[in-house]
Amino acid sequence: MKKSLILTCLLGASIVTSAQQKIELELWPGGAPENSGLTETVRPDGAGFNNVTDARLFVYLPAAKKANGQAIVICPGGGYSGLAMQHEGYQVAAWLNERGIAAIILKYRMPAGHYTIPAKDVFRAIEITRERAAEWHIATNKVGVMGFSAGGHLASTAATHFTSPKNRPDFAALIYPVITMDQQFTHGGSRRNLIGDTPSEGLIAAYSNELRVSANTPPTFIAYSDDDTAVPAENGIRFYQAMKTHKLPCEFHIYPTGGHGWGWRDTFKYKDEFRASFERWLKEIDKKTVSPQ
Question: What residues are paired with 57 via a beta bridge?
Answer: 25, 106
Q: What pLDDT score was predicted for residue 265? A: 98
Q: Where are the alpha helices (DSSP H) in the chain?
A: 2-15, 91-98, 116-131, 133-136, 150-161, 188-195, 201-206, 234-245, 271-287
Mean predicted confidence (pLDDT) in 74-100: 97
Report the mean per-residue pLDDT for the chain.
92
Q: Does 9 score more than 70 pLDDT? A: no
Q: Are 208 and 180 in contact (CB under 8 A)?
A: yes
In tens, the pLDDT along 164-198 reads: 999 999 999 999 999 999 999 999 999 999 999 99
Query: Could you tell me if residue 292 is inside a domain?
Result: no
Question: How far is Cα 234 from Cα 178, in angstroms, rounded to an integer?
Answer: 10
Q: Comparing C-alpha atoms, which of 32, 57, 42, 38 is closest to residue 6?
A: 42
Q: What pLDDT was estimated at residue 131?
A: 98
Would you say residue 234 lies in a domain? yes
Biggest CA–CA distance in the chain, Å, is 52
233 lies in some domain: yes
pLDDT surpassing 50 at residue 152: yes
pTM assigned to the model:
0.92
Res. 17: pLDDT tops 50? no
- Structural domain includes residue 293: no
Assign residue 58 the CATH number of its domain: 3.40.50.1820
Residue 70 domain-assigned (yes or no): yes
Domain ranges, residue 156:
2-287
Whether residue 2 is predicted with pLDDT greater than 70 in this model: the reply is no
C-alpha–C-alpha distance, residues 256 and 155, integer Å: 24
Average pLDDT estimate for 56-79: 97
Q: Residue 235: is its pLDDT beyond 50?
A: yes
Residues 176, 224 contacting (CB under 8 angstroms)? yes
Q: What is the pLDDT of residues 105-119, one digit of tens each?
A: 999 999 999 999 999
What's the pLDDT at 289?
A: 62
Query: For residue 44, is pLDDT > 90?
Result: no
Structural domain total, the chain: 1
Q: Quick check: is 253 in a domain? A: yes
pLDDT band (50, 70, 90) for residue 28: very high
pLDDT, residue 269, reads 98
> Is residue 119 included in any domain, yes or no?
yes
